[in-house]
């Protein structure tokens, strides 16, 4: 149902370095790069994830309660996503681990990117 999603960024080069690193363990690659739009996706998937400078040319900001979650192939990919995020200027919002009460088991990690967007990588195994 979702064709693409966007996250506003204030520094495209910094954001590209961050997202190249955090998406590598999840199998997503950068397929398009420009000063205003940078797009990622996984092979065989139709949906895109874009970094963008806000259209109104104001500073990028994030909605309270907004988050994007990305499906990982296994727990090691979730761990690598989290480690890459922290190494590239992200902030931990919840370390990798099992979230209680979920069935099947929900293993996830939560971070904020350098501009404050909240992200999750997870696997149900």
The answer to whether position 78 is within a domain reads yes
Cβ contacts of 94 within 8 Å, gap of 6 or more: 108, 109, 110
Closest C-alpha among 117, 110, 106 to residue 82: 110
Cβ proximity of 61 and 16 under 8 Å:
no
The answer to whether position 61 is within a domain reads no
The answer to whether position 44 is within a domain reads yes
How would DSSP label each residue in 101-123? T-SS-EEEEEEE-TT--EEEEEE
Return the CATH number at 37: 3.10.180.10
Q: How far apart are CA 90 and CA 49, in angstroms?
A: 18
Give residue-wise pLDDT tens across range 78-106.
Answer: 999 999 999 999 999 999 999 977 677 89
pLDDT(15) > 70: yes
Q: How many domains does the chain have?
A: 1
The answer to whether position 73 is within a domain reads yes
What global pTM score does this model have? 0.92
Its domain, for residue 110, covers: 4-55+67-124
Find the mean pLDDT for residues 65-84.
96
Residue 64 — very low, low, confident or very high, per pLDDT cuts 50/70/90?
confident
């Amino acid at each position: 149902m979702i064709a693409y999603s966007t996250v506003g960024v204030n520094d495209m080069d910094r954001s590209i370095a961050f997202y190249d690193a955090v998406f590598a363990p999840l199998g997503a690659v950068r397929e398009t790069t420009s000063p205003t739009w940078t797009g990622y996706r996984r092979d065989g998937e139709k949906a895109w994830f874009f970094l963008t400078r806000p259209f109104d040319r104001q500073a990028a900001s994030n909605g309270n309660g907004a988050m994007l979650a990305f499906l990982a192939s296994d727990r090691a990919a979730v761990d690598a996503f989290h480690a890459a995020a922290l190494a590239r200027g992200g902030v931990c919002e919840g370390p990798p681990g099992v979230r209680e009460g979920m069935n099947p088991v929900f293993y996830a990690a939560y971070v904020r990117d350098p501009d404050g967007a909240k992200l999750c990588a997870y696997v149900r195994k």
